[in-house]
Structure 1
Amino acid sequence: MLEINYSTAIDPFLRNIRSFIPDFGGIKPGERVLDVCSGSGAQVGEYRKRGILGFGLDLSPDMLSLSRRLYDPALPSDSYFTEADARHLPFADASFDYTSTTLALHDKPAQTCLEILAEMKRVVKPEGYILIADYTCPLPASFPGWIIRTIERLAGGEHYRNFRHYLKHGGVPALFEELGIKPEGTQTTSYGLITVTKAKVS
């Protein structure tokens, strides 16, 4: 239940970011986007609202149940959401115009993050894009920054340990550098707490 409670706490904070991501990414109606670690499905819902062919993938049955209830089409056979491990995406190479993920790296071990990003790159078409929204590193020493640190600390356990490791070791820029992915653009938002990064797949 902690996973659902954490998502419930974070999702309202992400409302503006959900709408910012497709604008920043330049995603057009009709383009195919896979949202990895899609959680509540809210990002897929935002894509679909804009005529973007958004699909979600998550490993948690609880989160998939929630996202399907909120955002799936009427026909179960035409599901927008897939249950799978983000380290092993069940899609062919170059299946999507974009892949995205939001606040799904900071809570995972670094090696897992690298494997997820490598898979996100694999399933994007040449000249397509990866979009990552996650905590700015370092987080600002501000009241909003304190709130985020408190939420992450309350998540506890391995989640919080991975969050601290993520901040200590450079966050998304460090992960991109290790994989040889070069960002094309970044934009910090939400009181400086979150940075959205866009990288082209060659």
Structure 2
Amino acid sequence: MKPWILGLTGGIGSGKSAAAAHFSAMGVHMVDADHASRWVVEPGRPALERIVDRFGDAMLLADGNLNRAALRERIFTSEEERRWLEQLLHPLIRQEIVTNLAQAESPYAILVSPLLVESGQNQMTQRVLVVDTPEHLQLQRTMRRDNVPEEQVRAILKAQAQREDRLKHADDVLVNDADLDHLQRQVERLHDFYLSLRGGQP
């Protein structure tokens, strides 16, 4: 029987990666949209050439890889440039994800994506799990983890779906407002529940 697909999402600093890692440790096939978005812009891939054509050589690091920081800076200040980039990358990322999900052998597979709702990737899933965290914790965790100023984190939060919007699409919500132990126990509970589902529905 073909595995059904769970979409796993959450804002920056919500703990979705920690939740994903625990699902993965229990043997669930995992596809990370962030990884897919890195693969499609690797040196030699057409997407990277298109980005350099549009934004110039400043988009490349000395080793020929994409200069993510420079690109991020460029698109966060311009709505138009961000849209152009999304139109280029989203179809390529989607194809990468579809190919990878097709290799799943666990009863269900997980697509982890910070932009699950915004990019329409939730249409590839049968069920959506949102890892939800109060905004002040998102800010604290991200500033500590990435060592970036508060304004930058706020800009990213603004570009991502608003919490209410994300929660509207959720079939399940995992509230991550305590420690890692607490998070992992919730993941284990959800995993048991998911194993009982057919096609993602009770």
Shorter-chain TM-score tier:
0.3 to 0.5
Higher share in helix: 2
Q: Pick 1 or 2: higher relative contact order, CA cutoff 8 A, min separation 6.
A: 2
Higher share in strand: 1
TM-score (norm 1): 0.38
